[in-house]
Amino acid sequence: MSGDGLLVPVDSKVHRIPAQVKIVALFVFVLAVVSTPAAHFWAFALYAVLLAAAIVVAKLPLPVVSRRLAVETPFIVFALLLPFVATGPTFDVLGVQLSQSGVLGAWNVLAKGTLGVIAAILLSATTGPRELLAGLERLRLPSTLVAILSFMVRYLNVVSDDLHRMRIARESRGYVGGRAGHLKAVAGGVGALFVRSFERGERVHLAMQSRGYNGRMPLLGEVGATRAQWIEGLTISLVAVTVAVAARVVGL
């Protein structure tokens, strides 16, 4: 996995919005989606349209979005089981008893989960790791946590590459072995990986100290977002909130 996350490096209006605005916008949007009762199908259709519009503005290629949807799989399975296991009144489809609340629940999990993932993809595909960190810093995430996050992101590739190299080294030596042997080899490798990562962590700290590190990381995000940027960035989320409120009102 790359330390760049899902970033699609093109230039678009969405890419240019400051990260802190996008994080807040994503959060508000998802909150609106999550708090919409499942039975208001039209509201979910509107959310989907909003997201589609944002994806077009962000110039994101569709395969990027669809490939990432795979992260949902275990919960799709769970959702598909719901109609069969949920309690309450049932109805009959082709001779199979399905629970009404189960079907609605499955829809609820699928719709909200999918919209949430797409919204999150929108954030991670339009925001580089550095901007994301700067955004979190602007949002007052504790600086130690931002520092840890930043080191993790920086060394994601290095550590993953180490793991990868170790596996190639093992396999290229024609390692077969039984399952137990395999387990031992992999786990030994992972143990060595930890020692390597830990020692690198120590060396990085030494390198920081030798350049005068005094316990405080320099700030990353020196620029704040303007009011216009906040308004622009939050547009979609505010529309979503309106939809959510409307759904509640209509549902009376």
Residues contacting 217, CB < 8 A, separation 6+: 143, 146, 147, 150
Site for other proteins in 12-51 (CB under 8 A): 23, 26-27, 30-31, 33-35, 38
Q: Given candidates 57, 104, 239, 241, which one binds other proteins under the rule CB under 8 A?
A: 104
Give the DSSP letter string of the chain. --TTTT------HHHHS-HHHHHHHHHHHHHHHHTS-TT-HHHHHHHHHHHHHHHHHTT--HHHHHHHGGGGHHHHHHHHHHHHH--S-EEEETTEEEEHHHHHHHHHHHHHHHHHHHHHHHHHHHS-HHHHHHHHHHTT--HHHHHHHHHHHHHHHHHHHHHHHHHHHHHHTT----HHHHHHHHHHHHHHHHHHHHHHHHHHHHHHHHTT--S-PPPS--PPPPHHHHHHHHHHHHHHHHHHHHHHHHT-
Q: Of residues 10, 39, 56, 204, which one binds other proteins by CB under 8 A? A: 204
Size of the site for other proteins (CB under 8 A): 113
Task: Confirm or reject binding of residue 90 to other proteins (CB under 8 A).
Answer: no
237 binds other proteins (CB under 8 A): no
Q: Give the interface segment with other proteins, choosing from 50-58, 90-98, 172-180, 228-236 (CB under 8 A).
A: 172-180
Q: Check residue 177 for interaction with other proteins (CB under 8 A).
A: no
Residues 69-88 touching other proteins, rule: CB under 8 A, are 70-75, 82, 85-88
Least distance to other proteins, CB of residue 42, Å: 17
Residue 1 interacts with other proteins (CB under 8 A): yes or no? yes
CB of 227 to other proteins, least distance (A): 24
- Region near other proteins per CB under 8 A, out of 50-58, 113-121, 224-232, 233-241: 113-121
**Of 43, 58, 123, 225, which lies in the binding site for other proteins, with binding defined by CB under 8 A?**
123
Among 139, 163, 238, 241, indicate the residue that binds other proteins (CB under 8 A).
163
Cα distance between residue 137 and residue 186, in whole Å: 37
For residue 52, the minimal CB distance to other proteins (Å) is 16
Our finding on whether 148 is near other proteins (CB under 8 A) is yes
